[in-house]
A and B are shown apart, each in its own frame.
Chain A
Amino acid sequence: MWPDAPRHALGAQVRILDLGKPGHVRTPLYVRGKVGVIDQVCGDFENPEERAYGRVGGARIPLYRVRFAQADLWPDYEGRPQDQLVIEIYHHWLQPA
């Protein structure tokens, strides 16, 4: 489906989906459902959710770095309001927000 499917642009607001997918997924629970901003468009990579099970050589999918305000991730965040966190998220875990 890539690279023809629309990609997220730098600075776009995105929500992290909770796909409920078991196994070797790279999207930790603490960002699921949260809204952040595309901080970097990293290029295309083979899906580690496939590679982890020996299915190598598959389609390459877009990877982004998504930035969050820490206060949006943790309701009880004790740092400063300007603190941020950036994490790598594959395209299929994102939707526009």
Chain B
Amino acid sequence: MTAHDHDHDHDDAHDHDHDHPHGPHPTREDDDLELTYSEARYLAMRGMLIKQGILTGDEIMRRLAVNDLASPHQGARMVARAWVDPAFKARMMADAKSAARELDIAVTEAKLTVIENTPQTHNLVVCTLCSCYPRSLLGEPPAWYVSKAYRSRAVREPRKVLGEFGLAFPGDVEVRVHDSNADLRYMIMPLRPEGTEGLSEEALAALIPRDALVGAALVDRPA
């Protein structure tokens, strides 16, 4: 099988190796390099699931293909659509999962919630317990998001953490932290920058950095 075997879907604490030497190519039994513990475990688990008839190879391939489509661009598309289409925004705020489906984004999470930044409130997402993240909309989380430093500090000193991302908020702005500790997954809808009135939806989506979709960046106006 030739799928990208690294793109497993997991929301809970995990210990697979991000620093192994293999790079992005798929893990396979006849790899030239020695398999890490996690890679060997993954291959063994996959083999057992197929052998016992719990999953087929096709099912695994199809799911990996869905995972491959997940990237921050999907979340950015949703936000850009919401910026230009108030009716879509209302549907997205009510039920982000079905709004994603309107844009042909396959959502594997049970429930997705979009939280809107306003001039009065800046929102930041963290999963203190593990690495919960809206993977269908944003792909795999960045290393900083899963780091113990971020997970412990974002709830305790969010303004300091945001400052390290280059974000400072006036004293009258509320900073609101969302601990993604259980069944919901959160994406932040950032503020639309001024000076973007004439831009197309595609051009707007291209302005939105990944980190803005969890509250760790703002969307800058185009240069």
Contact = CB atoms under 8 A, between A and B. Distances in A.
B156 A74 contact: yes
B183 interface: yes
B157 A87 contact: no
Contacts of B128: 28, 30
A68 to B, nearest CB: 10
Query: Is the contact region of chain A dominated by helix, strand, or loop, or is it mixed?
Result: mixed
A interface, size bucket = 20 to 34
Interface stretch (B26-34, B36-44, B171-179, B206-214): B171-179
A23 to B, nearest CB: 12
A84 interface: yes
A48 interface: yes
A82 B179 contact: no
Interface string A12-33: 0000000000001011101000
A28 B181 contact: yes
B160 interface: yes
A59 to B, nearest CB: 14
Contacts of A78: 157, 159-160
Interface string A69-97: 01001100111101111111110000000
B166 to A, nearest CB: 17
Contacts of A74: 156
**8 closest residue pairs by CB, A with B:** A88-B182, A87-B179, A26-B182, A85-B177, A82-B174, A45-B183, A79-B159, A84-B176
